[in-house]
Chains A and B, each alone.
Chain A
Amino acid sequence: MIMLDVSLPASQLFSIGPIPITDAMLGAVLTTLILVFVGVASARRFAIIPTRIQVLFEMGANYFLEQVEQAFGPEKARTFFPVFFTLMLFILVANESTMLPFVYEIVYNGADVFRQPTSDFSGPIAFSLTLVVVSHIMAFYISPITHLKNFFPVGAVFASRSVSDFFLACIGMMIGLLNIVGEFAKVISLAARLFGNVFAGNLMVAVIMGIAVWMQWIVPIPFLALGVFSGLIQAFVFSLLSIQFLAGTIEGATPQSQEETAQAVA
């Protein structure tokens, strides 16, 4: 029986001033380097007649652009597309980088130097927190009053003319408070989904390898394959859900759409 070497928090390697540098942060740097390298290497030879790798990138980008267009509409899609595609590429490369040979085995002072940034809870939390905060800033920028109205629908209380109207307005206030809770739940649910899948995949491989020495060669392969597959799916799901959330928040803050819904209700 081999001892399991699994730790939920990222282990600290060294610190630059007050900032502790963990292995997951180095993993994020590694992921970024891979992305930059592949990006530069493939963009150098962009042409009208595409090379194979260019076709691959363009297929992925096209498919993704369609999804963004469905959520935001064709005009805004071009503006928002880079955010989500970068996010997806980063998560994808981070998830699949376990396939790099030897990189994750480098040990410094008894701790791994690299770790997948998505298998540390801080990573996914950072992604989802950034997205939700950015969505609120954007919505606030578009129309502050309409955006705040989604959470504190005070206007309906003063506009109510009868007792039943007043009760409905109070229920609206409660729903607004629930929306605030929902925004926090969004951050946690997005992050926990990604983190849970990636970490569970790693943990499963570690457990299988820990059963016996002879199980370290052939037996983990299906579980590794499962991890690769779920890493792809989770990168896709994370970015799709963040598109939906961002589109929903921005839709809700656009005054015009509110009037439309009000008309639809009336």
Chain B
Amino acid sequence: MGLGAIGPGVGEGYVGGKALEAIGRNPSIANKIIPNMIVAMAITESTAIYSLVIALIILFVV
């Protein structure tokens, strides 16, 4: 679970950082960027979620 969370940690930081960069350049499109950013983050998060699901299955089922 911890190992699986490393990648999404880096990736989400990158997504958020780039989104903030874009907002900093053009603050007027912040409303368009933020939903896209959140969707991208949720997709980036998925590998961490997979490892979490596997951890849960090992914990509770196997």
A→B interface (CB under 8 Å): 6-9, 189, 192-193, 195-197, 199-200, 203, 233-234, 236-237, 240-241
Question: Residues of B contacting A7 with CB < 8 Å?
Answer: 60
- Contact call A8/B52, Cβ cutoff below 8 A: no
CB of B52 to closest CB in A, whole Å: 5
Binding site for A on B (CB under 8 A): 38-39, 42-43, 45-46, 49-50, 52-53, 56-57, 60-61
**Contact indicator A8/B50 (Cβ below 8 Å):** no
Q: For B52, what are the chain A residues with a Cβ–Cβ distance below 8 Å?
A: 196, 200
Say whether B39 contacts A196, CB under 8 Å.
Answer: no
**Which residue of the partner chain, among A6, A189, A234, contacts B42 with CB atoms under 8 Å?**
A234
In the complex formed, the residue of A with least CB distance to B48 is A196
Give bound CA distance, A8 to B60, whole Å.
6
Is B49's CB under 8 angstroms from A193's CB? yes
Contact A237 B42 (CB under 8 A): yes
Q: Which of B43, B56, B57, B61 has the most CB of A within 10 A?
A: B56
B1 to chain A, nearest CB (A): 10
Query: In the complex, are the beta carbons of A241 and B49 less than 8 A apart?
Result: no
Q: Which 7 A-B pairs have the closest CB atoms?
A: A196-B49, A8-B60, A237-B42, A196-B53, A193-B46, A192-B53, A233-B42
Give the docked Cα–Cα distance between A236 and B39 (Å): 8
Whole-angstrom CA separation of A192 from B42 in the bound complex: 13
16 contacts between A and B (CB under 8 A): A7-B60, A8-B60, A9-B61, A189-B50, A192-B46, A192-B49, A192-B50, A193-B42, A193-B45, A196-B49, A200-B52, A200-B56, A233-B38, A237-B39, A237-B42, A240-B39
Task: Give every chain B residue within 8 A of A8 (Cβ-Cβ).
Answer: 56-57, 60-61
Alpha-carbon separation in the docked complex, A44 to B45 (Å):
40
Query: With A and B bound together, what is the CA distance between A193 and B42 in angstroms?
Result: 9
Residues of the B chain whose Cβ atoms lie less than 8 Å from the Cβ of A241: 43
User: How many angstroms between the C-alpha atoms of A234 and B42 in the bound complex?
Assistant: 7
Q: Using Cβ atoms and an 8 Å threshold, which residues of chain A touch B57?
A: 8
- Chain B nearest Cβ from A241, distance in angstroms: 7
Q: State A240–B36 Cα separation when bound (angstroms).
A: 11
Contacts of B56 in A (CB 8 A): 8, 196, 199-200, 203
Residue of B43, B52, B53, B57 contacting most chain A CB atoms (<10 Å) = B53
Other than the given A7-B60, A192-B50, 8 more pairs (CB < 8 A) read: A189-B50, A196-B49, A196-B53, A196-B56, A199-B56, A200-B49, A200-B56, A234-B42
Among A199, A234, A237, chain B packs the most CB atoms within 10 A around the CB of A237
Distance (whole angstroms) from the CB of B53 to the closest CB of chain A: 4
